Amino acid sequence: MKLKRVMSMALAGLMVLSLAACGGKADNAGTDTAEGDSGTGKLVVWTLSEDLKTFAEHYMETNKDVEIETVIIPPADYPTKISAALRGKAATPDIIVGEPQMLPDFEEAGYFEDLSAAPYNADENKDKLVDYVWKAGQDADGKVRAISYQATPGGIYYRRDIAQAVYGTDDPAAIGEKFKDYATIEQTAKEVRDKGYRIFSDTGSLRWFAISDPWVVDGKINISDEKMEYMDTAVDMYQNKLVAFAPEWSAAWFASMAGPIPMNAEWQELDEVDANAEQTEVFAYALPSWGSLTIRDNAKDMAGNYGVCAGPTSYFGGGTFVGISAYSKNKTQAWDFLKYVTLNEETSKWWAESSKGDIVSMKSVLEEYKDKENETYGNQKTYQFFYDEAQKIDYSTVTKYDDQLKVFFGAAIESIQKGEKTKEQAMDEFYAKAQSAYPELTK
C-alpha cells in the first residue's frame, strides 16, 4: 500500500532536544503593558535545553537594561516542575516552553498566556512561519499559546557510497523511491543486506512513518491497516535480520554513522562486544531535521558522504515552543523577548548561520537559504529539501494521545519481534494499556 505524504509529531520513547541559539534585534510593536505587569525587571526563563540560554545572552547584548535568568530543566522533569510552580500561580518563570507533546496538557491547565489576544495580537504574524509550526502552538480553540523558532521536518539520511554500491546512483529522488512505502522498504532492506549492509540501525526507524492517519478518531483508538502494516514490516525485518540491532542513542548507533559496527551490539558498550562478531554498515537513518546535526557531528571521515531524501510520509519530530506564563508579572518584557526569538527575521538569519544547520521556522529565511549547499550532505541543498517537507506536513492528524499510544504500540511490536507474545496477545495488551491511561477512549 502506498502511503500518503502526511505527517506527525515524532515518537515517543526517547525525547530528543534540538540544538538552538539565536540573535538579532526585536521590534517594539505590541508591547502595551498587560494588567498587573511591571513592564520591567528580570526575566526568568525555564527551558529544556541550552538554546534559549544562547538566545538570552544575545538578546542581552542589545538590551543591556534587561537581565535574563535561564534555568535548564531535563525534559523528563520539566512537566512536573512547571506544574508544581504554576498550579500555585507562581510569578516566575516568565517564559515557559514545551515540546509539541507537552503543549496540550499545559494549555488545558491554563499555564500559557493567550497570545492571540491584545496586546500581543500574535495572529498578525502567522504568515511568517511554516504552517504546521504555527498550528502546533495553538490550543484546541485556535488561540496561539506558544511559538517556535524552528521547524523539525523529517527525512531519510543515507550513505551515498552504499547507494552507489547497491543501486549505481546516489540521487536523492532515485533513492527516495527505495523508501516510498513499507513493502518497498522491506525489499530495499533485502537488497542492501545481500550486499553486506543493513538498511537501518534498528526497526525503530519505521515508527516515524506510521502517522498518515490519527491515532484517535472521535474518541476511538484508530489502529488502521497502515499501522498494522508498520507492525508487520517491523516484525519481519527484525526476525529476518534486516537491521543492525543498534537502537537509536546507543553507542553502536552513533558509531555506525562513521563506519562499520558489530551486529547485535544492542545497548552494549562497543569495547564489550565480541571482537569476532559479524560487522555491518548502516545505510540509512530516519530522523527529523535535527538529526542532520547528529549525523554531521558523528560522521567523522564520512562527512560529505551523506544525502537526504523523502520517506513514505512527511513528518516532524520535536521542536521547542516558547510561550509566556499566564502568571508572569513581567509580560511586556517577556513578549518582547518571545518576539525576538521567534518572529524576528534578523534573529532567524542569525540562528540559521550560528547553528550551522538547524532549520528555522520563518519562511522568508527558508526561502533565502534554499540554494545553500550543505557540505556534510554532498553539497545537497538541504534547506530546500526540509522547506519542501515542512510545507507537506498536515497537522490536522495530530492528537494529544499520539506519543503515549506510540510508546504502547512500539512495546507491542517489540514483544512480537522477540517472540514473547503473539500479535493477538500484544494487541490485547496495547489496548489494555491505552484504556488504562485514557479511560475516555474506546477500542
Mind listing the pLDDT tens digit for each residue in 401-430?
A: 998 999 999 999 999 999 999 999 999 999
pLDDT digits (tens, 9 = 90+) for 176-187: 999 999 999 999
pLDDT confidence band for 270 (50 / 70 / 90): confident
Reported as half-sphere exposure (CB side, CA atoms, 13 A), residue 329 has a value of 9
**What is the structure's pLDDT at 64?**
87
Across the chain, what does the average pLDDT equal?
89
Q: Where are the domains of the chain?
A: 43-152+317-396, 154-310+398-437
Residue 58: closest CA among 340, 328, 331, 334: 340
Strand order in the sheet with 306-309: 284-288, 154-159, 306-309
* Confidence check: pLDDT of 242 > 80: yes
CA distance from start to end of the chain: 24
**CA dihedral of 234, 239, 244, 248, whole degrees rounded to 10:** 40
* Confidence check: pLDDT of 247 > 80: yes
Helix spans in 249-343 (H): 251-256, 291-298, 331-342
Helical pair 160-167 and 182-194, crossing angle rounded to 10 deg: 80
What's the average model confidence in pLDDT over 317-339?
A: 96
What's the average model confidence in pLDDT over 196-207?
A: 96
Phi-psi region of 199 (alpha: psi -120 to 50; beta: other; left: phi over 0): alpha
- 384: enclosing H helix or E strand: helix 382-392
How many other C-beta atoms lie within 10 A of the C-beta of residue 342? 30
Residue 233: closest CA among 196, 200, 195: 200
Q: Do domains 43-152+317-396 and 154-310+398-437 have the same CATH topology?
A: yes
What's the average model confidence in pLDDT over 374-380?
A: 92
Q: What is the CA radius of gyration of the chain?
A: 22
**What whole-number distance in Å separates Cα of residue 335 and Cα of residue 37?**
11
User: 43-47 and 321-324 as β-strands: parallel, antiparallel, unpaired?
Assistant: unpaired
What's the average model confidence in pLDDT over 53-78?
A: 94
- Structural domain 43-152+317-396, CATH architecture: 3-Layer(aba) Sandwich (3.40)
441 contacts 223 by C-beta, under 8 angstroms: no
More confident residue, 265 or 254: 254
Can you point out the beta strands (E) in 48-188?
68-72, 95-98, 147-148, 154-159
Residue 11: closest CA among 425, 405, 319: 405
154-310+398-437 placed in CATH 3.40.50.1110 = no
